[in-house]
């Protein structure tokens, strides 16, 4: 019965439950057990991300993934807005949209405007963004179909983010991008735009990834084997249930 209520509210474009209701319903230990962290660091960073999030409600992962496939189709995507305490220090926004098509596939969308980009550079960036979409889609949890749309738009007014292009920059993600970044690095930055924090320790001149799982995308996008983890998808979809 409760699941039907969720679906009804989502069809009206309403976020589902308050953080207090969620916290009383599901514990962090329940979430960790369900996610089944294949690496102990997964649970550590998942919990840290939630605690740094302006939306701290908890929902059981199985319920999040199951209901995501049954969300009613809508012409008006659910807009997810909030902030994370980036690096644990200061609030940085995230903004993306979630929707579902008539075939049952979930769509996660965000849009970026690159300032003063030439047509040639813009075309190159669009190609890299398509590859970043593919990276995120390759590792979706079993039985969950998600299409990611990282749209490059020409108008700043249409964008969720507007960033400068600057060689050898380290960001931050909502301010400046290096046009020479590889698609994997862009996939990492897009993780921030969907509300995920860095897992490595930030230091002047570079990051220390010795204390996080090197094959985790938000730990080390410099490693070709790095990829999104299961809990990333939970964190991104979970917010649809937060007021």
Give the pLDDT confidence of 169-199 residue by residue, as tens digits.
877 888 999 999 999 999 999 999 999 999 8
What is the largest distance, in Å, between two alpha-carbon atoms of the chain? 54
Report whether pLDDT(17) > 50: no
Q: Are strands 161-165 and 106-114 parallel, antiparallel or unpaired?
A: parallel
Does the pLDDT of residue 24 top 50, yes or no? no
- Residue 189 has a pLDDT of 95
pTM for this structure? 0.87
Statement: residue 1 has pLDDT above 70? no
C-alpha of 243 from chain center: 18
Cβ neighbours around 34 below 10 Å, total: 16
Report, in this order, helix, strand and coil percent for the chain, each rounded to 5. 35, 20, 40
Domain spans, the chain: 2-241
Of 13, 43, 38, which is closest to residue 28 (Cα–Cα)?
Answer: 43
79: alpha, beta or left? (left if phi > 0; alpha if psi -120 to 50):
beta
Q: What Å distances lie between residue 162 and 97, 110, 112, 123, 150, CA to CA? A: 17, 11, 6, 17, 13
29-62 pLDDT per residue, tens: 999 999 988 788 899 999 999 999 999 989 999 8
Distance between CA 209 and CA 19 in Å, rounded?
Answer: 32
The residue among 102 and 64 whose pLDDT is bigger is 64
Residue 187's pLDDT is: 96
Residue 19 has pLDDT above 80, yes or no: no
- For 225, which DSSP code? T
């Amino acid at each position: 019965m409760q699941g039907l209520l969720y679906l009804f509210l989502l069809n009206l474009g309403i976020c589902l439950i308050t953080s207090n209701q969620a916290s009383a319903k599901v514990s962090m230990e329940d979430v960790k057990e369900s996610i089944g962290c294949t690496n102990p660091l997964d649970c550590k960073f998942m919990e840290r991300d939630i605690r740094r999030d302006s939306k701290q409600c908890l929902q059981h992962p199985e319920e999040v993934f199951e209901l995501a496939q049954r969300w009613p189709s809508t012409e008006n995507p659910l807009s997810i807005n909030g902030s994370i305490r980036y690096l644990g220090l200061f609030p940085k926004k995230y903004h993306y949209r979630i929707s579902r098509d008539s075939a049952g596939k979930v769509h996660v969308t965000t849009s970026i405007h690159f300032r003063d980009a030439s047509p040639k550079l813009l075309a190159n960036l669009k190609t890299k963004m398509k590859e970043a979409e593919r990276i995120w889609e390759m590792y979706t949890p079993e039985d969950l179909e998600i299409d990611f749309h990282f749209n490059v738009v020409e108008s700043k007014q249409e964008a969720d983010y507007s960033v400068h292009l600057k060689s050898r920059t380290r960001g931050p993600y909502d301010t400046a991008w290096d046009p020479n970044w590889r698609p994997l690095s862009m996939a990492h930055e897009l993780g921030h735009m969907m509300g995920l924090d860095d897992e490595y320790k930030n230091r002047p001149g570079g990051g220390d990834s010795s204390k996080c799982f090197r094959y985790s995308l938000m730990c080390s996008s410099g490693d070709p084997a790095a990829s999104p983890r299961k809990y990333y998808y939970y964190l991104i979809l979970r917010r649809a249930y937060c007021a």
